[in-house]
Amino acid sequence: MAETVKKKTSTKTGTGTAAKKTTTARKSTKKSAETAVQEEIAKIEAVAPETSADKKKILFVASEATPFIQTGGLAEVIGSLSTALAATGKFDVRVVIPLYSDIKKEYRDKFTYLGNLYVHLAWRNQYCGIFSYEKDGVIFYFLDNEFYFKRPGCYGYFDDGERFAFFSRAVLEIMPFLNFYPEVMHCHDWQAALAAIYLKTNYCFRQEYQFIRSLFTIHNIEYQGQYSLDILSTLFDIYGRYQYLVEYNNCINLMKGAIEVSERFSTVSPTYAEEIKNPYYAHGLDPIVRNNQFKLRGILNGIDDKGYNPQLDSHLFANYSAEDMSGKAICKSELQKMLNLPVKPNTPIISMISRLVAHKGLDLVTNVIEEILQDDVQLVILGTGDYQYESYFKDLARRYPDKVSANIVFNGDLSRKIYSGSDIFLMPSKSEPCGLSQMIACRYATIPVVRETGGLYDSIKPLYNGYTFSNYNAHDMMYVIREAIYDYRDKEVWQKLMYNAATSDFSWKKSAEEYEALYMEMLK
């Protein structure tokens, strides 16, 4: 218990011995002296630096985090938002993720083993090792169980429900072990939904857990964690009386449960927060979102603008800045050489770096790309995904060897070479909760062409730092791509766009402030 109560006392009485002394003095003196003492406390509080006891404790619960393991944008947000919040000096931020066997060895070797415990879940009692590593002011915990996590990759297994139930339960179990009870437990996506659900069902009756608030952030509403109701108690260990919390359309729906139980829930852009009230975007959850909209917020993600900096990025063929873009031409010609495309400085390169899945708008691309390829352009694709799209782009590259390069891999180094070496970045998503690639492209002065949805709408302003189209329509997309190609030929117009894009502020500063305000609102 101690933790929360102790903390509250320390905030009230200010910091350090001086404050304690004055508190004692206050008790034994009369009214006027009391006022003087209070003034003194106020003075001390005003100048005292935040000590660790003053910091609000935040625990991120997520299934991936950079730099340790990444399958998508979620990992980058966990890695960079936690760091940005810690850097404010106001939060003691810790992050917990599973210890997958794919976690990079360079880090793994440096982890500290803290101990182990057994996690009880329905009829199972499973080992959980706890490792930690501190990076840029954030403590990361890694939960080890080889039966669940010693496998390649992060997801896609038949027992993912059980794996993340174990993980979520373990998150609550390690709190007494670490003597760390967060004020806000910030859970991300369905894999962490059960941590919020267990907190508000099985654990809230234990004194130490009573003051923990939960915030649930939806990075993509498409993946909800849906299971048969048959395994409610045997696998998830949820009592029958709580079935109504997680039940939706005759299934268990973990995302729905987390929305219901959390004090607040959020999405990764303001526009997406509005969109998911609508059946077109909500994958069936819109009634739940609408019922709970009083506690919904949308906060736009930022990017790690130090990590993505064309001036310092060692992956690039040449470095450059918003003020001096000369290096970008080298990045372009070297990229063309590397990808076996003709080296043509005045031919615009359109690039796509994306998971090759339907909601990224690939059906629009496949519909009109051959028409666009009749113009003097080159197309560079990087990503993996559905077989249908992978083979489509491979075939396109085979048929247009002088115009198309299809790289069906996930390659961080190449992605930076493409961001820096291309001119136009295409992202015509059908839905996009936030999207980080359009912001990264901007940072490298590559002009995004996006559909006006979710975070794309919130980050790209037409004719300022990119081009946008509204309807999910292949010819509307083609029209704006052609507009961009046309403007590309006008050096002055294009220089201005590149400058605006490269200097658009996508740092975490503003978003971290919004999260801070949200946490504070939750702690009132």
Q: Which residues bind ligand GLC (CB under 6 A)?
A: 72-74, 77, 219-220, 268, 301, 432-436, 455
DSSP labels for 227-281? EEGGGTTTTT---GGGHHHHEETTEEEHHHHHHHHSSEEEESSHHHHHHTTSHHH
How far is it, in rounded angstroms, from Cα 82 to Cα 10? Answer: 24
Backbone angles phi, psi at 379, to 5 degrees: -125, 130
Cα dihedral value 216, 219, 220, 221, nearest 10: 20
Instruction: Supply the minimum distance, in Å, between the C-beta of residue 220 and ligand GLC.
Output: 4
Residue 300 or residue 381: which is nearer to ligand GLC going by CB? 300
CA distance 153 to 149: 9
138 vs 349, beta carbon nearer ligand GLC: 138
Residue nearest to ligand GLC (CB): 73
Q: With respect to ligand GLC, which residue has the nearer C-beta, 22 or 415? A: 415
- Least Cβ distance, residue 341 to ligand GLC (angstroms): 29
- Measured from the CB atom, the residue of 220 and 336 that comes closer to ligand GLC is 220
Beta carbon of residue 209, minimum distance to ligand GLC (angstroms, whole number):
27
**What is the closest distance, in whole angstroms, from the C-beta atom of residue 72 to ligand GLC in the complex?**
4
Nearest to 225 by CA among 187, 278, 183: 187
| Identity of the residue, 286 or 375, whose beta carbon is nearer to ligand GLC in the bound complex | 286
Q: What kind and span of H or E run contains 58?
A: strand 56-61
Asked if residue 410 lies in contact with residue 402, where contact means CB atoms within 8 angstroms, the answer is no
Q: Which residues lie across from 117 on neighbouring strands?
A: 128
CA–CA distance, 269 with 503 (Å, rounded to integer): 20
Nearer to ligand GLC, 74 or 255 (CB): 74
Q: Specify the residue, 77 or 273, whose C-beta has the smaller distance to ligand GLC.
A: 77
Three-state secondary structure call for residue 392: helix
Toward ligand GLC, which CB reaches closer, 170 or 436? 436
Contact between 189 and 217 (Cβ < 8 Å): yes
Question: Least separation, in Å, of the C-beta of 93 and ligand GLC?
Answer: 17
As given in the structure block, the two tokens for residue 157 are 């297994």
Least CB distance to ligand GLC at residue 264 (A): 17
Beta-strand pair 56-61/91-98: parallel
Does residue 90 sit in helix, strand or coil?
A: coil
Smallest separation (angstroms) from ligand GLC to the CB of 200: 24
Give the nearest distance from C-beta 474 to ligand GLC in angstroms.
21
Helix (H) or strand (E) holding 515: helix 509-523
